[in-house]
Structures are given as C-alpha cells and as structure tokens.
Amino acid sequence: MQALDRKLLRDFARLWRQALAIAMVLACGVAILLMALGTYKSLSDTRETYYERNRFADVFSAVKRAPNYLAAELAAIDGVWAVETRTSGSAILDVPGSNVSISGQILSLPVEGLPRLNVPIVTTGRTPDPASTDEVMVNANFAIANDLVIGDHFFANLNGQKRQLTITGTAQSPEFIYTIGPGALMPDNATFGILWMPKPAVDAAFDMTGAFNDVTLKLSSGALEANVIDAVDQLLDPYGSLGAYGRDLQVSDAFIDSEIKQQRNMASVLPPIFFGISAFLVSMVMGRIIALERSQIGLLKAVGYSNLEICLHYLMLAALIAVVGIGIGWGAGTWLARSMSTQYAQYFDFPFLIFSTSAWVYAVSAMAALLATMAGAIQAAIKAARLAPAIAMLPPAPPQFKRALIDRAMAAMRLSQPTIMILRALIRWPLRSGLTLLGIALAVSTIVSPSFFQPSLNKIIDSAFYESNRQDAMLVLSHDMTQIVLETAADLPAVLQTEGQQFHAVILRNGNHEKRTQIQASHPATDLSRVMDNDGHQVAVPPGGVVLTDRLAAHLNVGIGDTVDARFLGGRQETHPLIVTNTIAQYFGIGAYMDLDYVNGLLRQSPRISTINVSLDDTQVLDLHDRLKDVPNLAGIVMMSDTRQSFAETIAENIGIINTIYIIIAVLITVGVTYNGARIQLSERSRELASLRILGFTRGEVSYILIGETMLLAVLAQPLGWWIGTLIAAGMFNSFSSDLYNLPLVFEPAVYAKASFVVLLASFASVMIVRRSLDKQNLVSVMKVRE
Amino acid sequence: MSDTVFRTEDVTKVYQTGDVKVFALAGVDLELYAGEMAVLLGPSGSGKSTLLNILGGLDHATSGRVWFRETDLTDMSDRDLTRYRRDYVGFVFQFYNLVPSLSARENVQLVTDVSPNPMPAEDALAQVGLADRMDHFPSEMSGGEQQRVAIARAIAKRPEILLCDEPTGALDSTTGVQVLEVLQDINERFGTTTVIITHNAEIQRMAHRVIQFQDGKISSVAINDTRLAPAEIVW
C-alpha cells in the first residue's frame, strides 16, 4: 500500500464520527431508494407477470340478465381477443365456529373447467365437479382466516335458499389480489370470501340458466379500450347493463396501482433530499479538511505529487464516506424492502412475489450516493489540486471581516463580545450558515409533514362515521326490494331503528363531461345516514333535483341551477335531466344525493330500497348475527362500528410506524448537519477559543460561542422547517387526493411543537458532544500549533 | 567552478495584494554550482524564500529567466514543474511539514512512492540517525527528530539539489546543530547541491558561499575560505 493511501485510511479513521454522521444521512437516501424502487419494481413486475400468466381481463361489465348467445356477439367486437361470461352472486355465509356474519361473492366456473380469463390458481385440492351442486372452491386466504380445510362444510344462503357446501379446493385469482368486501374500507379475509362454483349450480341458484350477469373481456394488443367499452355497453344495455369499465375502475387493480404509484413517487421525491443534504455535508467537511491540510497539500506538491493525484486523494476520502453510507443503506434498505413485502403479503394476495431487489437497484442506489458525495467533494478537491504549492505552505490569510451596517447595529445593542463573534461568523459565511439552516429546517419538515396525517384522518373519520354515517350496521340487499322489508328488519334481534336507502349506478353527463358514480337516495327525515358538508351541517336534499359533491360538480363542470343528464344503469337504462340544487364539500367520494320518493317517481317504480341502515342494541348483536345467516336476499352486512374501529386502529398503527421512522430520519439529518457544523467550527476556532480561555473566559463562556452559533441557527430554522413541512404535506395531500377522497390539512400546534422539540434536542445533544472536546483541549498545545 | 546547476537572469517577482504591489524579487542574477553549499542570508521579506520557491519549481517568476542546468524553468507548465520537483528537488521546511497521520517511515515513503530512483526509506532514515525511530508518528518525536525525518524524506529520492528554508528556525541550538551536521554530511557524501535559507548569521560560517539579500536583491556574495564544522557553531 502506498503511503498516500495509508494517509487516506488514517484520515478516515480519525474523522470516523463526522464520516458516520454523513454516512447515516446518505444511508437514509440509499435505503429509501432501494426500498421504494425495489418495491415498485417488485410490485409492478409481479402484477404484470401474474396478469399475463392468468390472463387478467381488460374490460369488465355487470348486467342484470343477458342471454348466453350474446357471448358470441361480444367476442365479435373489434379489438376483443377473448370473452368470458359468468354468473356472479352474493350470499351470507354461515361458517361453523364463526359467530359474525360473513359475506361471500360467488362466481361461476365454466363446465369445461377453469375459465379462459382471470384464471384462478388452484393452490390446494381441486376445482368443484361441474355436475355437483354443493361443491365449492374458496379463496385461500379466506380458508386460512376461518380455519377451513378441504372437506370442511359451511352454509351459504343462496338467493334465499340455505345450502350446505363442501370445500374441494382453495385458489387465488388475479381479480382478487386486493379483496375488499361490500362497504368495507379494508380487506378482511375473515368476513369476506370468494366462492367458485360450477356454472349450472350457480345458474340454478340465481335463476340464470341460459344467461349470464357478468362479463369480462380481454383485448387484443392495439385495441382501443374506450371503443370496446362503448360497443359492450351498446350490446348489453337492453339487458340492464351497469356499464362496462376498464381496469382503472376494477377495485383490486386500482388499489395495487395506487400503491405502485406511491412507491414510484417516494423513490423520486425523498432520496434526492437526502443526497442533497449529504452532498452539502460532504462539501462542508471536505472544505474544512482541505483548509486544515493546506500545508500538507503544499508538501505533497513540493515532493512531486501531481494535481490529479491530489484531487483523487481527496475524492477517495469522500468515496470512503459513500462506501460506508451505501453499505449501511443497503443493509437497511434490504431490511425495509423485506418488511414491506411482508406487509404486502398481509394486504395483497399474490401467488408469488417477484422480489427483484435486483442487482441494478443496488447499483442505481450506490451510483446515486456516490455521485452525491462526489458532487459535494469535487469543489474542495479541485481547490486542493489548484492550491499553488508556495502559497499552500504559508498560513492562510485571516478571513476578511469588514465593518458593515450590522456591526453598528450590534454595537448599538451593546451585545457581548462572544455574541458578536457568533453573529459575525454567521454573516461572514452566509452560504454555509444558510445551508446549515436549510438542513436543520429540512429535518423539522421531515417530522412535520407526515404528522399531518393523523389529525387529517381523524377529521375524516369523524366526518364520515360520527356525523354522516351514524348507523351501527348496513344490511346490503341482494337486489332492490320494496320498503316493506324495513318492517321485517325491525323485527330482527338487537335492531332498534331502521332506515332505507337506495343506491343507483348512474352515468352523469354534461356535454362532453361524463362521470360514472352512484346516486344515494334517502328520505328527507333520515337520521342514521345523513348528508353532511365538511363544516358539519346537515344538507337538505330537496325533491326535483340532485345534490352533488363539489368534486363531482367540478368534474362535470356544472354549478347550482345547471342541469345534468343522469343515465340510470341496470334497469331500463333511462336518461333523465336533473337540476343541480346544491353542491357540497365532502372529504369522501364523488357522491350524488337525491330524494328517495323523487327517484321512485322518476323511474316510475314502487317505493324500494337497496340498503337498510340499522341502529343496534349492543347486548344482542350476537343474536342478530345468528339470525342474519338465515335471512334471504341479503348480500352482505357492514358492521360500521367494527369498520370504524379497525380502520382507526390500522391507521393509528401505520401512522405510528411512519412517524417513528421519520423522527429517526430527522434526528439523523439533524445530527449530520449540527455535529459536523460544530466540529468544523471548533476546528476553525480552536485557537480563538483557547485564546479566550487564556484571557480568562470560563469554560461556560467559551462553550457559549460554540453552542450559540449552532443553536441560533437551529432556532432560526424552526419557522422555515414548519413552513416547508406544511408545504410538503399540502403537496402530498394534493397528490393523494383522488375521486375517492381528499385529505383536509388540519393544523395542530402540537405537530410543530413536537418537530421542533425533537430537532432542537438532537441539535443540542450533537453540540454538547463536540463541546466535550473543547473541555479536553490543552490550551498550551493549541496555541503552539502553527495554523 | 564551472559546473553550474542554477542560473537566474534578472528575476523579479511581484505580489499583488489588493491595490498594493509588493516586489518580493527585484532583479536577481545568480549562479549556483554543483556540489556547493550556499547559504542565503537576509532579513524577513528580503526575497530569500521567494527565490527558493522559484528555484524549486513551486512558483513562477514574474519576469526574468531561470535555468536548471540546460533546462529553462521559466515557462514550464504546471505538469512539467511537478515532474521536475519529483525527479530533482528535495525540500526541507522550517516547520518540517510532516503528515501527522503517517509514521516516520511512511512520511519518507510518500516520496519514495513517486520518485524514479529512490533509496529505501529505511536507509534514508538511517542516514539521519533515526534507524530506531522509524515507526514513530510525528507527535511522538521531538522537533529535531521531526526535522531529521523531513531531511530523510528530502534525500530519499537522491535529489540533485536540496533546498532548505530555515531548517533550524524552529529548533534550539543543540538540535539545530545536529540537523546542520546531517545536512553537511549529505552535502559532502552525495555531492548534493544544498541551498540553506537562514536568519541565523552564524550558520553562514559552514557554507562555501554566502549570498546576502536586501530588499529583493542580492547585496553581496562572499566565499568562505575557511569553513566551520557545524559542531563549532554556537548561537
């Protein structure tokens, strides 16, 4: 090993604390890049492969009842590669050992065996015998959650007929990677399952013999989805089509898609921040090292080392920091990516996970980290190379201070000399002070921005659950029924109060603006499920028109008094002009609200409802569950209190983890910035501070200068950090806003206080560590050393 | 003496700091000969170090010409000057300029790593009487020892010329004499042309020639008929 390389390693060993502080920040960037990019790649590769292998459809449509011969006509549509028609239904299940109501979605399997599209993977056992009427294959996670194995029996209420079914196998399907039950906010495999049964059996149960009520289509490459959707609608409309849609509205795919996008955003937003801070820290530390090693650089040049060799020598020092950061980042990133994939396993049902934290992801993250450190070091290294040897060996000229307006101000304020020293140093190196301040502010913002989630979600939960939807449970009917069922429902155990609601799939149109949504129709006097605006006021829904959420109104480009054309899907496919009587601000959904009687009149139908909202007597809920297993025409039950609770718990748990991670990151950034800043200050000022000690200043007074500069910057950084954090949160919330919801920015002073507390504490601790070396300083030897 | 190593012709060096022009050298004509030991004397700011830097290829003259043997150093590029220093010049500085993170041996290796025909670092350290201190770090050595490491580092490349800027400036007289003895020994045994800058008028008595500087110019050149051994010098 060459002597110069040995110097490199020893310098690095001497600087290990500073190097580590930088390496940790760098590692954050590497780890997040690795995790986000790895997860992004892994999710999208897995999805793509799964979809391709199991021929996941491109277009989906539900219909009331369409004759089988339409399948051939659907297949003949230009651009359609394959068609799969099937019968779909829903049922309440009675699973032995479970005392809650479980709902299931039943899908028919063709007599020939597995379907051509959305091919399920049989994970255990076999598909049901096509001739059987009581055999069923269930999704694997449902079986696991309910301790069901092959050969087990359970009951299903099929269209009013309670039947015992026997499990022949378990399966996974590309249609149900993310399986969410009707009305639920999160997947729950224990209370919602997918059931595959032979088509003849399902047809018989749901009165669909010779017909189908669900179709999926795969398009040939190059086909225009919109054209196919139009053609499908045209064919199916006379049979009560609910409107065809693409993958973007397929629930499972939409969830995965948003997760993939989120990872991609994370990979492109967060790591650059960490790399930027690392570059700044490297440049600060390298600049100082080169200032300290001026005479050594002069010497190296004097003995004949070339500019390039010297430049490389210092770049190598930065590269060593990068190597440590990359190593730690790879370790942490691999761990993070692993725990991400475990988390995905919990929510997403993939038969395999192509976890390709492949070599290139590692390479990309390492390259990015190396580039960041090189970018930080290059200026200092070039400066070292350019130092003229004769000048390098002279002591550097003292930094230039000039009297300015600020000095007069300081004099007028009668500040102490140490305070003036602090302020002068900040003003003398404005760029360095500014960047240090920015670094600390970014640490503050790192805590502030994710802290907005909890209060925002609380607000949403409050609004959605405690103000609008106050019912304890929703009984979802398998099809619209007359209001008489309300009386039947009132007789169920535990039920205290019942209210009916009607949901209608519609396409709203204004000129070329169009949106597919659902109209929620209720009686004006309803008390359990109310239409509320964001301010907590109940909104009246008068007959003779429609009330739109402002998101929907904006999408349709309509205002109060305008008319929209509403095409009611699933029935006679009638289109009616509706006057927009009001628009309301809501966090959730793109809802449209109408008066129930008005809708019934408009559609010339008897008073009917599709959902029953009930309030319950808590003490008898188990009896209710027991009874519901035998109630016909029920597609599902949504226990609102359970939903509320599990939603709030999951959110709290996830947010708790996220906040902890961001606090750790903020502390790493703060330590990286303040520790290095204070170290450099100490090294620049050691003679000055020792002189003050010799002149009779106490340790405390001298420490004040050291601590004061960093802490002043830290305090000044707080408001900036709050502002940046709020800005980032607003940006994130904006990017998260979708048709489904938008997040309100709820300002809570505690959020800012917490962030400032953490960052100021971390800054103070870092400076105190540096202060310890000040205490150890030998005054005489410091003064002897030549600058 | 006809074997000229260095020749300068009306060399000037002007430093510009702000609006002020400082003439560090104001026209210097000088010849230095192979194997001689020359002492440059003069008060601070008289131009000695500036001349030494220019001779050693650390700096360019503002005007005038400088030759090392037949080679014109005046307009040499940075790259060529680096090569020139690497191959021909050994430096010794007042403050030793050792790399604190490297041991004595490694400080010498710093030079032997890049020179074309070096002696082993151990030999160089033995030459200056530090055979038993090779693995000590600068912080573990006295000032005299550190300066001897610096000399070992300078001679390890077998330089033709040894340029010493106040080599005893930071040392007490006993250690200073030891360092001078090493320099004289090198000069005599290897025939290395040695140029020593000093404030200390006593040191001139061991030189072949004494060149006196005043205000950026040579004010006198004297030849010593009888030289003193370093041990006889006291200050």
- The per-residue pLDDT for A42 is 83
Asked whether residue A402 carries a pLDDT value surpassing 70, the answer given is no
Average pLDDT rounded to a whole number, residues A664-673: 91
Distance from CA of A778 to the nearest CA of B (A): 14
**B59/A389 CB distance under 8 A:** yes
Helix (H, G, I), strand (E, B) or coil at B65: strand
Phi and psi angles of residue A304, each rounded to the nearest 5 degrees, phi first: 110, 10
Measured between beta carbons, which residues in chain B are less than 8 angstroms from residue A778? none
Distance (Å, whole) CA A725 – CA A444? 7
**A390/B53 CB distance under 8 A:** yes
Helix (H, G, I), strand (E, B) or coil at A190: coil
pLDDT bin (cut points 50, 70, 90) of residue A295 is confident
- The per-residue pLDDT for A255 is 86
Nearest to A29 by CA among A354, A287, A376, A452: A376
Average pLDDT rounded to a whole number, residues A98-125: 91
pLDDT bin (cut points 50, 70, 90) of residue A396 is low
Residue A715 or residue A295, greater confidence? A715
Q: What percent of chain A has pLDDT over 70?
A: 95
Q: Which fold has domain A495-616?
A: Barwin-like endoglucanases (2.40.40)
Distance (Å, whole) CA A666 – CA A445? 8
Average pLDDT rounded to a whole number, residues A15-20: 89
Give the CA-trace dihedral at B72, B73, B75, B81, to 10 degrees: 140
Inter-residue contact B102 to A300 (CB < 8 Å): no
Give DSSP secondary structure letters for A99-130.
-S-EEEEEEEE-TTSS-SSSPPEEEEE-PPPT
- The per-residue pLDDT for A357 is 64
Measured between beta carbons, which residues in chain B are less than 8 angstroms from residue A295? 95, 97
Residue A197 pairs in a beta bridge with A108
Give A390-395's long-range contacts (Cβ < 8 A, gap of 24+). Answer: A390/A298, A390/B53, A390/B58, A390/B59, A391/A298, A392/A294, A392/A295, A392/A297, A392/A298, A392/A301, A393/A294, A393/A295, A393/A298, A393/A299, A393/A302, A393/B93, A393/B97, A395/A786, A395/A787
- The per-residue pLDDT for A571 is 78
B163-197 pLDDT tens trace: 998 888 878 888 888 889 989 998 998 899 999 99
Write down the residue that tokens 């074309």 correspond to: B116
pLDDT bin (cut points 50, 70, 90) of residue B1 is very low
- The per-residue pLDDT for A778 is 62
Stretch 71-130 of chain B: residues touching chain A, C-beta under 8 Å: 78-79, 82-83, 85-87, 89, 91, 93, 95, 97, 99, 101-102, 106-107, 109-111, 113-115
**A304/B83 CB distance under 8 A:** yes
Average pLDDT rounded to a whole number, residues A364-375: 94
Distance (Å, whole) CA B48 – CA B198? 9
Nearest to A456 by CA among A749, A742, A750: A742
A300-359 pLDDT tens trace: 888 888 899 999 999 999 999 999 999 999 999 988 887 887 777 777 888 887 766 678
Total residues found in chain A within this entry: 787
Give the CA-trace dihedral at A63, A64, A66, A72, to 10 degrees: 10
Would you call B171 exposed, middle or buried from its count of C-beta atoms within 10 A (0-12, 13-18, 19+)? buried
- The per-residue pLDDT for A199 is 95
Asked whether residue B233 carries a pLDDT value surpassing 70, the answer given is yes
**A4/B101 CB distance under 8 A:** no
Cα diameter, chain A: 103
Average pLDDT rounded to a whole number, residues A509-533: 88
Measured between beta carbons, which residues in chain A are less than 8 angstroms from residue B86? 303-305
Average pLDDT rounded to a whole number, residues A600-613: 90
**How many helices and strands in chain A, by DSSP H and E?**
23, 20
CA distances from A726 to A62, A273, A442 (A): 43, 16, 11
pLDDT bin (cut points 50, 70, 90) of residue A786 is very low
**CATH code where residue B60 lies:** 3.40.50.300
Distance (Å, whole) CA A721 – CA A442? 6
Inter-residue contact B152 to B108 (CB < 8 Å): yes
Of the residues B20, B58, B92, the best mutation for testing chain A's interface (the one with the most A CB atoms within 10 Å of its CB) is B58
Average pLDDT rounded to a whole number, residues A699-716: 88
- A497's tokens: 């109060």
A671-698 pLDDT tens trace: 989 998 888 888 888 777 777 776 667 7
Question: Half-sphere exposure of residue B71, counting CA atoms within 13 Å on the CB side?
Answer: 14
Average pLDDT rounded to a whole number, residues A625-652: 80
**Cα A332 from chain centre:** 20
User: Which residue segment(s) compose the domain that B112 sits in?
Assistant: 4-232
Average pLDDT rounded to a whole number, residues A392-405: 65
Burial A487-523 (b: 16+ CB within 10 A, else e): eebeebebbeebbbbbebbbbbbbeeeebbbebbbbb
- The per-residue pLDDT for A787 is 40
Across the A:B interface, residue pairs with CB atoms under 8 Å apart total 77
Asked whether residue A699 carries a pLDDT value surpassing 50, the answer given is yes
A430-450 pLDDT tens trace: 888 898 999 999 999 989 988
Cα diameter, chain B: 53
Which residues, 6 or more positions from A330, have their beta carbon under 8 angstroms from its beta carbon? Answer: A30, A31, A34, A362, A365, A366
Would you call A334 exposed, middle or buried from its count of C-beta atoms within 10 A (0-12, 13-18, 19+)? middle
- The per-residue pLDDT for A259 is 83
**B113/A299 CB distance under 8 A:** no
Lowest mean pLDDT among A374-383, A573-582, A727-736: A727-736
pLDDT bin (cut points 50, 70, 90) of residue A780 is low
Mean pLDDT, chain A, rounded, equals 87
Chain A contact for B188, CB < 8 A? no
Compute chain B's Rg from CA coordinates: 17
DSSP H helical ranges for chain B: 48-55, 78-88, 104-112, 121-127, 143-155, 173-190
- The per-residue pLDDT for A274 is 86
DSSP H helical ranges for A429-574: 430-451, 453-461, 485-490, 550-556
**A302/B111 CB distance under 8 A:** no
The phi-psi region of residue B42 (left if phi > 0; otherwise alpha if psi is between -120 and 50; otherwise beta) is left
Q: Where exactly are the structural domains of chain A? A: 88-207, 429-470+641-787, 495-616
Strands B161-165 and B89-92, sheet pairing: parallel
Inter-residue contact B137 to B21 (CB < 8 Å): no
Asked whether residue B213 carries a pLDDT value surpassing 80, the answer given is yes
Name the residue type at position A311: C
Helix (H, G, I), strand (E, B) or coil at A399: coil
Residue B17 or residue A665, greater confidence? A665
Distance (Å, whole) CA B172 – CA A725? 62
- The per-residue pLDDT for A738 is 66
Nearest to B154 by CA among B210, B214, B197, B110: B110
Average pLDDT rounded to a whole number, residues A753-764: 95
For B113, nearest residue in chain A (alpha carbons): A2
**A6/B153 CB distance under 8 A:** no
Distance (Å, whole) CA A637 – CA A173? 24
> Nearest CB to B91: which of A11, A302, A388?
A302
Tally of domains within chain B: 1
Average pLDDT rounded to a whole number, residues A489-506: 91
Distance from CA of B106 to the nearest CA of A (A): 5
> Nearest CB to A303: which of B83, B102, B110?
B110
Which residues, 6 or more positions from A143, have their beta carbon under 8 angstroms from its beta carbon? Answer: A149, A167, A170, A193
Average pLDDT rounded to a whole number, residues A196-212: 94
Average pLDDT rounded to a whole number, residues A209-216: 95
